[in-house]
Structure 1
Amino acid sequence: MPAGVTAGYAVVDVTTGRTVAQRQAHHRFRSASVVKILIATDYLERRRGTIPAGDMALLTPMLRGSDDDAATALWRRGGQGEIVRRMARRIGLTETAPPPAAKPGFWGYTAISAADIALVYRYLLRRAEPRVRDFVLGNLRKASQCARDGFDQFFGIPRAVPRPWAIKQGWSGYGAVPPVKCTRARATSYRIGAVTMGGNPVDFGRPVLHTTGVIGDRLIMVVLTLQPSGASFTQSAERVTKLARDLYLSVA
């Protein structure tokens, strides 16, 4: 990896569950928007019956366009960190943890690892109820190129791998204004120092850029990265895309 970049990744065969490529797969990173998969899955598993139109108006843009305001509303209603604890117990996640106690509303500070997020996708594909699987992955297959905060979320998997794919991206630490603004920017800046959570320090200061998803019907790919301080979004996206392409070519 380039100097100053920390990467953890896992590529899993959907059919067998075998990990076919990995590096620092158990290293913890702050989740940024990747946690939105857990927020949506938790909501759907607790909700029975028809999803109200108002809730649909939160879930759909949160999954497709990574809408932060929608995530915040659902995070508060679901009990904040309790969402993460419930999903960790249900799926068997061992490196995923809620945000620090001093920052309960900062869903993007949830700790995750590549290995755990690969388990989340495998859970959706193999163990979740069909209605939950179809809703979450169906929306991730329709991810928009321009996120609600104006950032281009087609880096990593969507730039490096041919369709079909279902993706959930994450980014944090690049400010509120994207290099090329697609829509009105509404990003929240998350910047505090590193806090120790479990096995390794989770860095909440340096920028993160993550690409995760299901490729076709046979691979799960999770690439989590911590970028150098001051790195631009464009530079970070290029690095993550190259890593995703190299990984895909090595296992395709």
Structure 2
Amino acid sequence: MSTPSERPAVRVPPGVRAGYVVYDLEAGRTVLQYGARRTFRSASVVKILVTLDYLRGTEDVPEKDLALLRPMLRSSDDGAATAFWKRGGQGAIVERMARRIGLGETEPPPADKPGFWGYTALSALDVAKTYRYVLEKAPKAHRDLIMGELGKATPCGKDRYDQYFGIPRAVPRPWAVKQGWSGFGDVPAVPCEGSSYRPAAAPGLGIGRPVLHTTGVVGGRIVVVLTLHPAGSSFKVAAERLTTLTKQVFGAAG
């Protein structure tokens, strides 16, 4: 009998390093996994940990902080993430949350890059554990804030990268997603033109190669697909690879 890590129906594109996990919330078990403990630099996926750390012991979030949290989660606002990263002590955020949630592969950025929150190292298994923590252990108000904003993920990130790849392209709504991308340049070759949220007011792991991640909750399942692409890959090509891979993962998970 096939175990969750031995399903043959998924083919990772040549030259791509991948790790994925599908966890069934109702059954309380992992139904599909591959490279689940492989580490990748987090890109914007770490923003979930940044949010959880900020919310520790918080009951009422000030409006000025909500004005940062919401676009950080919905539209992957890097400026908001940097503000909370500095406020929380940078890598100490990752260390605190790794202990709290019980993350085995998640580590702060390299010591010589303390401000680079996107260089946090994490695995698909740890991201799935983080979603479980949000859904099963976080206070209801915190869960509602995080999942509510991820459920309203905008087509475009604040940096004008298209963030509808992977899960948003592979399956119909409803879903709640946190995407991640890094290594494609500060300005997208083809800027995303859809609406974005505009408020009023790893250590040696693929650095130099682009990463693209799709993570979230879909139909009672946590889905995490992390990928590292060959150097020089365009965002468009990487997004197509990841979306195709995500469709296969959904099909194999049954």
2:99 corresponds to: 89
Identity %: 61
1:146 corresponds to: 156
Please state how far the C-alpha of 1:102 moved relative to its aligned partner: 0.7
Contact 2:181 2:213 in 1 (8 A): yes
Please state how far the C-alpha of 1:98 moved relative to its aligned partner: 0.4
Residue 31 (structure 2) aligned to one of 20, 29, 35: 20
Counterpart of 2:206, as a letter, is: D
Please state how far the C-alpha of 1:47 moved relative to its aligned partner: 2.3
Counterpart of 2:123, as a letter, is: S
1:230 corresponds to: 232
Whole-Å separation in 2 of the counterparts to 1:246 and 1:40: 30
Residue 131 (structure 2) aligned to one of 111, 121, 139: 121
Flag structure 1 segments of 5+ consecutive residues without an equivalent.
Answer: 184-193, 197-201
Please state how far the C-alpha of 1:251 moved relative to its aligned partner: 2.1
Q: How does 1:12-161 map to 2 (within 5 A)?
A: 12-48=23-59, 50-161=60-171
2:3 corresponds to: none
TM-score where L is the length of structure 1: 0.91
Aligned residue pairs, count: 236
Whole-Å separation in 2 of the counterparts to 1:35 and 1:17: 24
Whole-Å separation in 2 of the counterparts to 1:60 and 1:32: 18
Whole-Å separation in 1 of the counterparts to 2:58 and 2:137: 17
Whole-Å separation in 2 of the counterparts to 1:110 and 1:160: 27
Contact 1:8 1:25 in 2 (8 A): yes
Contact 2:151 2:177 in 1 (8 A): yes
Counterpart of 1:159, as a letter, is: R
Whether 1:211 and 2:222 are equivalent positions in the alignment is no
Please state how far the C-alpha of 1:229 moved relative to its aligned partner: 0.4
Moved over 2 A (4+): none
Please state how far the C-alpha of 1:39 moved relative to its aligned partner: 0.5
Please state how far the C-alpha of 1:92 moved relative to its aligned partner: 0.4
TM-score where L is the length of structure 2: 0.90
Contact 1:45 1:132 in 2 (8 A): no
Deviations 1:122-149 (A, max 9, x none): 1111111101111101100000000000
Computed over aligned residues only, the root mean square deviation of the Cα atoms, in angstroms, reads 1.4
Contact 1:179 1:234 in 2 (8 A): no
